Structure 1
Amino acid sequence: MKLNVNSVRVVRVRGKRARDHLHSNSMSSLNTARALYLCYFGVREPLVQTQVVPYLRELAAGGLRVHLLTFEAQNIKTWPAEERAEVRARLAAQGIEWHALRYHKRPTLAATVYDIVRGAFAARRFVRRERIDVVHARSHVAAAMGALATRGTRARFLFDIRGFFPEEYTDAGVWPAGGYLYRLTKAAERRLLAAADGYVVLTEKARQILFPDQASTNGRARPVAVIPCCVDLTHFRAAEDVAREAVRRELGVEGRRVFVYVGSLGGWYLTDEMADLLATAHRQDPRTFSLILTQSPPAMITDRLRARGVAERDYLVRQIKPTEMARYLKAADVAVSLIKPCYSKQSSSPTKMAEYLAGGLPIICNTGIGDLDELIETDRVGVLLREFNEASYLRALTEVAALLHDPDLPARCRASAAARFDLTSVGGARYRRLYEQLLQSGRDERKSVRA
């Protein structure tokens, strides 16, 4: 089943009491609405620059007045004055007014609780002073702030769930399954789900788990949107003018079949299995070249490749800027993404998948990650690994080699990216529709309260 660009559903969950109506100036469009976005990350972090600011820019372009509250590991008063001014000016140019609080790390639980309380008080002041219509909270910690800040106010509370936070910590081995922190976080999650007026999840699988169609109660209807991690396709369209052969010549990979990997190594990302796959590809076809674009220590992959018999001349590990990625992908033939398949990863939408497809590349990836199984098979843009062994690797390599003979493959990959992951037509459009539904639900509540 292909995902609809307007994939916003309305579900019923156990609810809180109806709130007061939105302020009298709220209209069906976003032109007079105000939002406060709560983000428990620093404004300079790559995640914020790629998966927060672009969406806020889209909302601001739709007429919404946007405030962004981030948590900075370093007190911004200690930043160079010109850097603070540059960040504020850059965000302001995109329609975003930036505010910051200090992030506290230790002791872990106490520091997080302190940040939640402080963030909630700050957010509540914003709600009252700026007459905020929607408090938009990214993930669970920020959502705790949002729930406290909006309680008893006219503002709507949007819980942007992102992933299965408690399960991610247990799947990663950080928390014991069923332990105190897991149970505490799950209890908090239930309260946050009950408190929210609307929801965002990254995958259709996550929506089915958290908000199945049969999950109907006597509570009021609230919208839930499926919004995957999107990318700005304009960067990749600009790279279309770059000559593929020029990039390949620069990298010294003319005549090679280039496998590319973009992103972190270790943790959720199965570096050993990726090294096995790449080594198998090198043995099967000596023309194979592995291009690894990562900010992680190069030895995390080079040691593994060498141990598997891959010569130094047959791989390159490089750190690049995000703005350079589209250009480097021009040199590649096949992209790779192997992620630990576990329960929590059903909620994941890896940004690298959207980037690969936008670059016109077929993907070798494993099953069990978000909606990728359906995407790969329906759009015919790659190969799924169902096991991590040599027989499975050889099958995948044979299948992707057959795909590469299809002259329509690059265009099909780009079309898949445009239909599923375009920042403007998918991400921005779904967020705008969700905001409009939240504002409308406020007006409907006002009518029901008055009746």
Structure 2
Amino acid sequence: MSRLLFITWDGPQTSYLTGLFLPILTRLRQSGHSPHVLQFTWGSDEKVVETKRTCESQGVPYRMVRVRRIAGGIGPFLTAVAGSLAIRRAVRDWKIDLLMPRSLMPALSVLCLWTTRGLSIVFDADGFAADERADFQGLSRSSMTYRLLKWVERRMVRLADSVMVRTTKAADILQADSRTDVAKFFVVTNGRDPSAYAGERPSRPDNSLRLCYVGSIGDQYLPDQMLELARTIRQSVPGTTLELFTGDTQNAVEALGRANLADAAWITVRQIPPAAIPAALKSCDLALALRKKCYSTQGVAPIKIGEYVMAGLPIIGTAGVGEVDSLIKAGVMFPFDGDHGAATQWVIEKFLPNKVHLAQEARRLGTELFGIERSVRGYEAAIRYARAAKAH
């Protein structure tokens, strides 16, 4: 079994480490592995202390490297380069034999090590970080920053003994770009613990249709289209409501203003802690998951998709973003292509008459496809392959 170092780079607004990855690392620990965490972050001291306490309460040792936020991208770049020293100390102190860098900045730190001799490497590519910045943050694909990040991606894929991705398309793209062995790519899921979503859905005295959305509110999530879709459904299904569960409350308010829905009593914006999300979703009927399709979205698997279906919520969402073909085939996801009328017709003719059955089917598929056990099996397969490759 491995003594692995999970290396991650997280902003203060995210809870990916404790909410998504720590449960997976904890399951790996229960299987005999010994996971450790090195987190690069610019979060507050209070946030760091909380994260450290949470990790160590699960038996996972934790260290932090403070990201220098100076001179634009220079500070983070220097942090990543110098971060190789923190990795080396962690390897020495914790007797690490396997590195698991997640995304490009931790990958850069690993590439800056003098040597990785004796260390197996599992690279968690987790999407196309450079292309996400180009698609949604204005980074020019001809810029030095973009070219550097793509070099890091390509070099890390080649160096790694195995590579974890979220979609088969991501594996195809990275394999073709790096010209490396296709066998070392493993599609893993962003799994959640199904037990958090277990139990009966609460009964409601009214017969209203409750729509919901969970997650960030930004241009890539098409908030204007989402609100127009909700309004169109409400026009045909009186009493429809919409719950927006998001930490981006300001962006949500701005989107409502653009849609002339700022004072709409049927729409609620709420920020809730991660632990409260399962119960909040189970109180709703139908979920929304729109996403702007572009190059980088070929590599992402929205976490909200798994959360929705495990909570028993069918989805109106964008096809081709994440591994959702099986959900569409089973009828628990309507592939939205911008046609509000077609989506509304599906709600009236397919969803409403079959609410109970579709909720049960969504829950079944959610547990099967997005449960944490499947994620752990994927991680273990990538680790086994990496260790075997290093042994040879």
Relative to the length of structure 2, the TM-score reads 0.91
* Residue identity (%): 26
1:405 counterpart (330, 347, 353): 353
Give, in whole Å, the separation in 2 of the partners of 1:294 and 1:375: 27
What secondary structure does 2:10 align onto? coil
> What does residue 233 of structure 1 align with?
194
* CA spacing shift, 1:243–1:216, aligned 2, 3 Å: closer
Q: Counterparts in 2 of 1:18-167, with a 5 A limit?
A: 30=1, 33-41=2-10, 45-73=14-42, 76=45, 79=46, 84=49, 87-149=51-113, 151-167=115-131
* CA spacing shift, 1:114–1:414, aligned 2, 3 Å: same
1:280 counterpart (232, 236, 251): 232
* CA spacing shift, 1:283–1:43, aligned 2, 3 Å: closer
Give, in whole Å, the separation in 1 of the partners of 2:317 and 2:255: 18
1:380 counterpart (321, 331, 336): 331
> What does residue 369 of structure 2 align with?
420
> What does residue 432 of structure 1 align with?
380
Give, in whole Å, the separation in 1 of the partners of 2:174 and 2:32: 31
What is the CA-CA distance between 1:117 and the residue it aligns to? 2.1
Find out whether 1:395 has 2:342 as its counterpart: yes
What secondary structure does 1:149 align onto? coil
Q: Would the aligned equivalents of 1:205 and 1:370 in 2 still touch at CA under 8 Å? A: no
> What does residue 216 of structure 2 align with?
264
Find out whether 1:329 has 2:329 as its counterpart: no
Residues 250-288 of structure 1, C-alpha deviations (whole Å, 9 max, x = no match): xxxx22111111112123211111111011112222221
What secondary structure does 2:106 align onto? helix
Residues 191-223 of structure 1, C-alpha deviations (whole Å, 9 max, x = no match): 1122111101011221122236xx997x77762
What secondary structure does 1:376 align onto? helix
Structure 2: which 5+ residue stretches go unaligned? none
Give, in whole Å, the separation in 1 of the partners of 2:212 and 2:317: 12
Q: Which amino acid in structure 2 is aligned with residue 303 of structure 1?
A: G
Residues 426-446 of structure 1, C-alpha deviations (whole Å, 9 max, x = no match): 111111222122222222x2x
What secondary structure does 1:367 align onto? coil
**Matched length:** 388
* CA spacing shift, 1:244–1:75, aligned 2, 3 Å: closer
Which consecutive aligned stretches of 4+ in structure 1 deviate over 4 angstroms post-superposition?
A: 219-222
> What does residue 20 of structure 1 align with?
none
What is the CA-CA distance between 1:97 and the residue it aligns to? 0.3
Q: Would the aligned equivalents of 1:42 and 1:48 in 2 still touch at CA under 8 Å? A: no
Give, in whole Å, the separation in 1 of the partners of 2:140 and 2:152: 17
What is the CA-CA distance between 1:378 and the residue it aligns to? 2.4
Which is bigger in relative contact order (C-alpha 8 A, separation at least 6)?
1
Give, in whole Å, the separation in 1 of the partners of 2:113 and 2:21: 20
Give, in whole Å, the separation in 2 of the partners of 1:75 and 1:279: 39
Q: Would the aligned equivalents of 2:18 and 2:54 in 1 still touch at CA under 8 Å? A: no
Give, in whole Å, the separation in 2 of the partners of 1:150 and 1:345: 34
What is the CA-CA distance between 1:329 and the residue it aligns to? 1.6
What secondary structure does 2:61 align onto? strand
Q: Which amino acid in structure 2 is aligned with residue 367 of structure 1?
A: A
* CA spacing shift, 1:150–1:274, aligned 2, 3 Å: farther
* CA spacing shift, 1:125–1:357, aligned 2, 3 Å: same
Give, in whole Å, the separation in 1 of the partners of 2:12 and 2:267: 34
What is the CA-CA distance between 1:173 and the residue it aligns to? 4.1
What secondary structure does 1:360 align onto? coil
Mean alpha-carbon deviation: is it higher for 344-353 or for 427-436? 427-436
Give, in whole Å, the separation in 1 of the partners of 2:241 and 2:124: 40
Give, in whole Å, the separation in 2 of the partners of 1:124 and 1:301: 46
Q: Which amino acid in structure 2 is aligned with residue 210 of structure 1?
A: L
Residues 397-423 of structure 1, C-alpha deviations (whole Å, 9 max, x = no match): 211331332242111101111121111
Q: Which amino acid in structure 2 is aligned with residue 41 of structure 1?
A: D
* CA spacing shift, 1:203–1:93, aligned 2, 3 Å: same
Q: Which has the larger radius of gyration?
A: 1
Mean alpha-carbon deviation: is it higher for 136-145 or for 59-68? 59-68
Residues 14-68 of structure 1, C-alpha deviations (whole Å, 9 max, x = no match): xxxxxxxxxxxxxxxx2xx211111112688412222221221121111111110
* CA spacing shift, 1:221–1:284, aligned 2, 3 Å: closer
Give, in whole Å, the separation in 2 of the partners of 1:172 and 1:94: 36
Residues 315-349 of structure 1, C-alpha deviations (whole Å, 9 max, x = no match): 22222122222222222121101111111001111
* CA spacing shift, 1:150–1:383, aligned 2, 3 Å: farther
What secondary structure does 2:112 align onto? helix
Q: Would the aligned equivalents of 1:290 and 1:315 in 2 still touch at CA under 8 Å? A: yes
Give, in whole Å, the separation in 2 of the partners of 1:312 and 1:413: 30
RMSD: 2.4
Q: Which amino acid in structure 1 is aligned with residue 384 of structure 2?
A: E
Find out whether 1:244 has 2:172 as its counterpart: no
What is the CA-CA distance between 1:75 and the residue it aligns to? 7.1
Q: Which amino acid in structure 2 is aligned with residue 244 of structure 1?
A: S
Q: Which amino acid in structure 2 is aligned with residue 416 of structure 1?
A: L
Relative to the length of structure 1, the TM-score reads 0.80
Q: Would the aligned equivalents of 1:335 and 1:361 in 2 still touch at CA under 8 Å? A: yes
Give, in whole Å, the separation in 2 of the partners of 1:43 and 1:265: 17
